[in-house]
Amino acid sequence: MKKYLLIGVSAFVLGAGSMAYFSQQALASAEPRAKTYRMLGLFGDVLDTVEHQYVTEVDDTKLIQSAIDGMLTSLDPHSGYLDAESFAEMRDQTRGEYGGLGIEVTSEDGVVKVISPMDGTPAAAAGIKAGDYITAVNGESVLGLSVNDAVKQMRGKPGETVTLTIAREKSDPFDVKLVREVIKPKSATAKMDGDYGVLRVSAFNEKTTDEAEAAFNDLRAKNPKMKGLILDLRNNPGGLLDQAVGVADLFLEGGEIVSQRGRDPRDVERYNARPGDITHGMPMVVLINSGTASAAEIVSGALQDRKRAQLVGITSFGKGSVQTVIPLRGGMDGALKLTTARYFTPSGRSIQKTGITPDLEVASTRDEAQSIANKSFQFSEASFRNALNADEGKVRAGAHEPAEEPPEGFDVKKDFQLARAEDVLHYGSVAATPKMPKPTARLAEVLGGSKAKVAAVKPPGTDK
């Protein structure tokens, strides 16, 4: 109320001499409003034409809902409209229990694209990968459908079989059969790997902070000689902001974790850690990859900026925006999922599109190293045509030679990124860790017409 009152008093003090100016301003502001009213009239005309002339009868409600969703999705990939049913399903999902296949998806140019499969779900067991396109469900095309409509087709009664048609880079389309389950993903689990604990956090729902703390405490109680902790956030698609803050808070003694900033430069909200590190200063490494997104990037960025942990893996997804869910008529008319702010790490970094860069870049496989060397094969926030830009105008790193990849003869059944994270804990830092032989860049080149081949590119200064 104080802001509105001050504005009113200021306008009065300016006096009559300023009235002409304000009249001009009012006219100027009325022009775009008149244009808006005209466009709304156009929308009504189009709806009326479709109702009376389309080849079959149409459902007005579905048409208007689709129009609302189209308006919102044109803003950025993460804004959208949720009808009442979808809104209820979203609330079930954030509570940590829902029916489905266990896939985090988005839409790209009318195609459903996988952000990440969730641990311990039918999708993960079937080998669905981040970056896969879902083109059909049970033989029916989902091309051109909104994410909400496509998800409705994938969800159903537990125990029923659903067939997804998958399009994947460098592969012919193929079908995958999955059995729907009641998804109750345990978002945090822990295990020992040699001398080190591995805390796996696969998502951020309402239970994540409590589950992560309980998992770590149980592991430490059983292994009091644990020498370090690896926080595995790979393929974590994110979730609730407060849970990201809660998990980061587990390992920090205080200070800022993240800030979010809206359209108004004065609209800044900061989230700080409370005293108390559950590990009591135990050395930490965080594992990230291109499937590490949103809330998982908040945790990664906070621990990196605060010098609490070093990061190993490859650059994260780069989703640095905050969505607010705004119920309509208490949820009876669904809800808007609207991007309302960007978030920033403690040092002031916006990772929107650019992602979190690890302290030690390590590809998990040689194929992944090749995808890093060929920009067109990467899947990230920057892949979306209408993604928000980073606030500082930074751009995501393009194709480049990855720092490390599994050497010849490395057991493919083993986890190379995890092994390198353990090396960092063993030697005390990334700087002190002996480096692997640097791989030769293999940038993709088009040779001989339309056939794409991969040619070895020698670094400058080497013998030809």
Domains in the chain: boundaries: 16-56, 98-183, 188-427
Tens of pLDDT, residues 386-405: 888 876 667 788 888 778 99
pLDDT tens, position by position, 27-69: 455 677 888 899 999 999 999 999 999 999 999 999 999 999 9
Catalytic residues: 294, 305, 319
**1 against 57, higher pLDDT:** 57
Judged against a pLDDT cut of 90, whether residue 343 lies above it is answered with yes
Say whether pLDDT at 10 is over 70: no
Q: What is the pLDDT of residues 166-189, one digit of tens each?
A: 999 888 999 999 999 887 768 999
- Does 457 have pLDDT greater than 60? no
Is 90 exceeded by the pLDDT of residue 2? no
Residue 115's pLDDT band (boundaries 50, 70, 90)?
A: confident
Fold match between domain 98-183 and domain 188-427: no
CATH number belonging to the domain at 188-427, selected among 3.40.640.10, 3.40.50.1980, 3.40.50.2300, 3.90.226.10: 3.90.226.10
Which residue did the predictor score with more confidence, 115 or 79? 79
Return the pLDDT at 131: 87
SS (H, E, C) the chain: CHHHHHHHHHHHHHCHHHHHHHHHHHHHHHHHHHHHHHHHHHHHHHHHHHHHHCCCCCCHHHHHHHHHHHHHHCCCCCCEEECHHHHHHHHHHHCCCEEECCEEEEEECCEEEEEEECCCCHHHHCCCCCCCEEEEECCEECCCCCHHHHHHHHCCCCCCEEEEEEECCCCCCEEEEEECEEECCCCEEEEEECCEEEEEECCECCCHHHHHHHHHHHHHHHCCCCCEEEEECCCCCCECHHHHHHHHHCCCCCEEEEEEECCCCCCEEEEEECCCCCCCCCCEEEEECCCCCCHHHHHHHHHHHCCCCEEEECCCCCCCEEEEEEECHHHCCCEEEEEEEEEECCCCCCCCCCCCCCCEEECCCHHHHHHHHCHHHCCCHHHCCCCCCCCCCCCCCCCCCCCECCCCCCCCCCCHHHHHHHHHHHHCCCCCCCCCCCCCCCCEEECCCCCEEECCCCCCCCCC
Q: What is the mean pLDDT of residues 105-111?
A: 79
Q: Which of 171-185, 256-270, 449-463 has the lowest mean pLDDT?
A: 449-463
Q: CATH number of 98-183: 2.60.450.10, 2.30.30.90, 3.20.20.140, 2.30.42.10? A: 2.30.42.10
